[in-house]
Structure 1
Amino acid sequence: MDSIIFDLDGTLWDSLDTVLEAWNEALEESGAEKTLTKEDVRGVMGLQAHEIREKLFPHLSDEQHRKFEELSSELESAYVRKRGGQLFDDVEHVLEQLSQKYNLYIVSNCQDGYIESFYAYHKLDEHFVDFENPGRTGLSKGENIQLVMERNNVERAVYVGDTKGDHKAAKEAGLPFVYAAYGFGDVDEFDYVIDEFKELLNLFG
């Protein structure tokens, strides 16, 4: 194995509070009457934009949703860059150790600018070789994993994530899946499971 590819939300950090604030502000400015809860946002972490709309915003008109998407994307990246999120225990230390042996990547179902804001706040970009997201490519997570592998000549990798969508993406890309059981999702099928981030060192250290 030469590489480890990570999901972001629920795998490397928890940014729910920051994202919730941004989304509710965007909803208010879009003229929507709905206010989201933390559990609402937790329930859609890892989904792509069209899936989030189907689950949370079926009541919004096309115009309201377009305005919400524009505002939430702008506010979310700005808030994350300024306030960050909560890294899971030992993330910095483990990434530093793993990056000495493997090439590390991030592939997340987020908008363009979100991963860059994660890098900016926590200063962890030095550990990663590349990243990708559907906000930049319009592709599914599985396709983005394959894209990152192709352009970086990755031969053998694993994908680390916390949701059923992450498992599906890893399967589509032909990779073993490491389930981060401490994250946001419940996953029944996996090749490896970790209850804490530092357990990656036991698997691959």
Structure 2
Amino acid sequence: MTGSLDGWTVVFDLDGTLVDTAPDLLLALNHVLDHAGLETVDLQTVAGMIGHGAKAMIQKGMSHQGLTPSDAELEGLFARFLVYYSEHIAIGSRPFDKAPEILDGLAADGAILSVCTNKKQDLSDKLLDALGLAPRFAAIIGADSVPSKKPDGDHIVRTVQAAGGDPARAIMVGDSRTDERAARNAGLPFVFVPFGYEAESVEAIGADAVVSHYSQLPAALSRLISQAVASARGR
């Protein structure tokens, strides 16, 4: 990398950005559906719901079969989902290719690394611990640890602050429209990773940078930081 990342915080989404969690989320969803006497579904059916919470996945899995759960039914299925998922959280989930190595490189160059996710806090911590990624992050802030989750920009701001960083010197990396909106609401540049679960096209997301593999991330961050520094000098 050509420029230092000292003083900059890089904020990562979790599901679909750092870790391919789809195998275990689908496993938990199908466990719930099967227990309820319903047909199981494939990843294509619910992929767009990943990152929007387990309830959205359950509702999608049921609507695919022409069913709509009552609030009470949904809560019961949701509770069962959480128990099963927590017990099988890292069976098939893995970091995306070269993500750990790139994270280490960013940290060596001075970056503060953090995670801002709409996943529940305990599940986020458990997953990152199980995969050996947790020590790399100065802060991991789940949806239930803040007043308002993404796309509220406050979720990102609180994550940066918890990591000891400055929101004016931070960049968000994510795989969804929700991440992009949260970054805009927080005033951060946004890097889009199209290998996640969002169905939106690259053009529709409107990111400041797009990286199709983690090996491209350092250069993208360097460009965005150089642009931000040049813009600040020009004011």
Where on the TM-score scale, by shorter chain, does this alignment land: which range?
0.7 to 0.9
User: If the length of structure 1 is used for normalisation, what is the TM-score?
Assistant: 0.88
* Separation (CA, whole Å) in 2 of partners of 1:44 and 1:149: 26
Indicate the residue corresponding to 1:176 in structure 2: 189
- 2 CA distance for matches of 1:152 and 1:86? 24
Q: How many residues align?
A: 203
Q: 1:34 to 1:136 in 2, by over 3 A?
A: farther
Asked if 2 retains the 8 angstrom alpha-carbon contact of 1:84 and 1:121, the reply is no
1:46 aligns with 2:55: no
Equivalent position of 1:95 in the other structure: 103
Partner of 2:23: 17
Indicate the residue corresponding to 1:148 in structure 2: 159
Equivalent residue in structure 1 for 2:93, among 85, 88, 101: 85
| 1:128/1:137 CA distance change after superposition, 3 Å | same
- Indicate if the aligned counterparts of 1:105 and 1:130 stay in contact, CA closer than 8 A: yes
- Give unpaired runs (5+ residues) of structure 1: none
2:74 alignment partner, one of 61, 65, 69: 65
What is the rounded CA distance, in whole Å, between the counterparts of 1:177 and 1:120 in structure 2? 26
The reply to whether residue 106 of structure 1 matches residue 115 of structure 2 is yes
Measured after TM superposition, the shift of residue 56 of structure 1 is 4.7
Report the 3-state secondary structure (helix = DSSP H, G, I; strand = E; otherwise coil) of the residue aligned with 2:171: strand
Change (3 A) 1:147 1:102: same
Give 1:51 shift: 5.0
Check conservation: 1:9, 1:15, Cα contact below 8 A.
Answer: yes
- The counterpart of 2:212, out of the listed 173, 180, 195, is 195
SS at match of 2:30: helix
**Aligned partner of 2:182: which letter?**
A
Q: CA deviation at 1:153?
A: 4.1
**Deviation string, structure 1 residues 108-151 (Cα, Å, up to 9, x no partner):** 11123221122222111121001112134352213321221233
Q: Give runs of ≥4 in structure 1 deviating > 4 Å.
A: 48-58
Amino acid at match of 1:20: L
Q: 2:34 aligns with which of 28, 33, 40?
A: 28
Do the aligned partners of 1:5 and 1:158 also contact (CA within 8 Å) in 2? Answer: yes
Decide whether aligned partners of structure 1 residues 89 and 49 sit closer, same or farther in structure 2, where only a CA change above 3 A counts: closer
Gaps of 5+ in 2: 1-6, 223-235
TM superposition shift of 1:72: 1.0
Question: Among residues 104, 107, 116, which one is paired with 2:125 in the alignment?
Answer: 116
Whole-Å Cα distance in 2 between the matches of residues 112 and 159 of structure 1?
A: 19
C-alpha displacement at 1:80, in angstroms? 1.2
Give the superposed CA RMSD: 2.2
Residue 137 (str. 1) matches residue 115 (str. 2):
no
Relative to the length of structure 2, the TM-score reads: 0.77
Work out whether residues 84 and 122 of structure 1, in 8 Å CA contact, stay in contact via their aligned partners in 2: no
Q: Distance in 2 between matches of 1:65 and 1:36?
A: 17
